[in-house]
Structure 1
Amino acid sequence: MAEGSRAGPLAFGQVVIGPPGSGKSTYCQAMGAFLARLGRRVAVVNLDPANEALPGPCALDIGELVTLPDVMASLGLGPNGGLLYCMEYLEANADWLRERLRALQGHYLLFDCPGQVELYTHHQALKNVFAQLAKWNFRLAAVHLVDSHYCTDPGKFISVLCTSLSTMLHVELPHVNVLSKMDLIEHYGKLAFNLDYYTEVLDLSYLVDHLASDPFFRNFRRLNEKLVEVIEDYSLVSFVPLNVQDKQSMRQVLQAVDKASGYSFGDREQRSLEALMSAAVGADFHFSSTLAVQEKYVQSQDKAVEEEVMDL
């Protein structure tokens, strides 16, 4: 207990990571609004020095310490090198971050992180920042967002699985992988398998067999088999589908994250969640549920198959 007292009061939060365009900032704002409706005090912390157009309110912005345009202009670096420098600068100035976070004591924190994949697969700076936060008594879960459109391309999906596994092993935080933008998945094209195949990461040998039908990937079958073996041997990667417009989907993600970080519901928040889930669907959640999207997609595929059979 003495060590925890020196580190500061226990605090919980999420570090939201993932490739560019996966919806990290949108997720932070949507999850913040969802948690606020449950009565949880929430603060969004922007750790992306390239994020100049924040989609919503931000309690703490790394732009007060360093910005990517300034680094690129002063050091002659490109976007990738400049972003790595910014994260190393943040690591070297961890006291600045700790001082700013003290003003947010009692809040549940959502850390909106940069979109450079190297930061989560092999670069040390952001990993060290997360480790420093743990020493300050923050209990964090990593929420790794992946755009759901990768499911429509088996080759890209295997790459996503490898990246997700590498991120989980490197970041060393309780981890939840999320397939974002599920409300748009039916616009991306046909899936080779049902959605649960991708979220549960079932027998990937079927995916390799599907790739073998593509002339481009036929010569790389052996490589794909070995990559799939690595993923299956670790048996760590699975995904939670997310549609930020759907409260049931948001609840599913929140429960997975709270379980990963060890956050426990209070009675008041549990009652708020139950009331929210039982309430009529409002304007904020006008899209169909994620499950309904899957059912609709499967039904449309079945109908297409029936039409092809009738044509024959």
Structure 2
Amino acid sequence: MSYGQVVIGPPGSGKTTYCRGMKEFLTGLGRDVVVVNLDPANEGEDLKPDIDIRDLITLDDVMEEFDLGPNGGLVYCIDFLKENFEWLSDKVKPLRRKYFLFDFPGQVELYTHGSAVRSLVDTLQKEHDMRLCAVHLVDASYCTTPSIFISALLTSLNVMMRLELPHINVLSKVDIAQQQQELDFRLDFYAEGGDLHHLITAMQQHAPS
């Protein structure tokens, strides 16, 4: 049996940075960690994944071959991985009993409309006896505008329902958000999600006069 995290969230929310920090933390606790990059557009060099979808397919190659844009290219890549799951399975199989961090793409349509990510997660759990949870990163800058924060909440709920995994939402880049603009409420209000009716008053205050 293996355990792991499915790290998701919008582009630029800090998924790869989170994976790097979580790997350092877990390694310090004596856990043997495997980082799996499943984002074919991830060009960051700050974290060397142990398994990398770019060894199978890259977004640039798909866009050039099929004349697709970035969004269509990402959908194609994840569908291609789903159809060629044995590639990922062969990589994962020798690493059983380790702790996995799956760094997924940020395109929201992959989770709210498509079924490939759900299929990948389900197959990993069934075929490799994995116990996975979803870690959904949300850029804290979304908290600076009530309407955008509500949109982020609804997106998180949508993803939670579609993946059907134990799920936790994490506010990322909190330090940057607080520097950019003063928040309407204390930070724990956004983290706990209680008394959301206060957002109505805040939305009225932000409405154009």
- Output the aligned Cα RMSD: 1.2
The amino acid across from 1:60 in the alignment is I
TM-score calculated relative to the size of structure 2: 0.96
Question: Deviation per CA, 1:42-84, whole angstroms, max 9, x where unpaired?
Answer: 0100000011233212100001111101111111111000100
- Unmatched tracts of structure 1, length 5 or more: 1-9, 219-312
**What displacement does 1:204 show?**
1.2
Q: Which of the two has higher C-alpha Rg?
A: 1
Q: Distance in 2 between matches of 1:108 and 1:215?
A: 46
Is residue 18 from structure 1 mapped to residue 9 from structure 2 by the alignment? yes
Is residue 149 from structure 1 mapped to residue 141 from structure 2 by the alignment? yes
Q: Equivalent residue for 1:97?
A: 88
Q: 2:173 aligns with which of 157, 178, 181?
A: 181
**What displacement does 1:152 show?**
1.3
Paired residues, number: 208
More strand by share: 2
Q: Distance in 1 between matches of 2:76 and 2:130?
A: 24
**What displacement does 1:118 show?**
0.7
Q: Distance in 2 between matches of 1:53 and 1:185?
A: 22
The amino acid across from 2:5 in the alignment is Q
**What displacement does 1:150 show?**
1.1
More helix by share: 1
- Unmatched tracts of structure 2, length 5 or more: none
**What displacement does 1:212 show?**
1.4
State the identity %: 52
C-alpha contact (below 8 Å) 2:3/2:97 kept by paired residues: no
Q: 1:40 aligns with which of 31, 36, 50?
A: 31
TM-score calculated relative to the size of structure 1: 0.65
**What displacement does 1:189 show?**
1.1
**Helix, strand or coil at the partner of 1:145:** strand
Question: Deviation per CA, 1:201-255, whole angstroms, max 9, x where unpaired?
Answer: 1111111111112334x8xxxxxxxxxxxxxxxxxxxxxxxxxxxxxxxxxxxxx
Q: 1:86 aligns with which of 77, 90, 94?
A: 77
Q: Distance in 2 between matches of 1:85 and 1:102?
A: 25
Deviating above 3 A after TM superposition, structure 1's stretches of 4 or more consecutive aligned residues are none
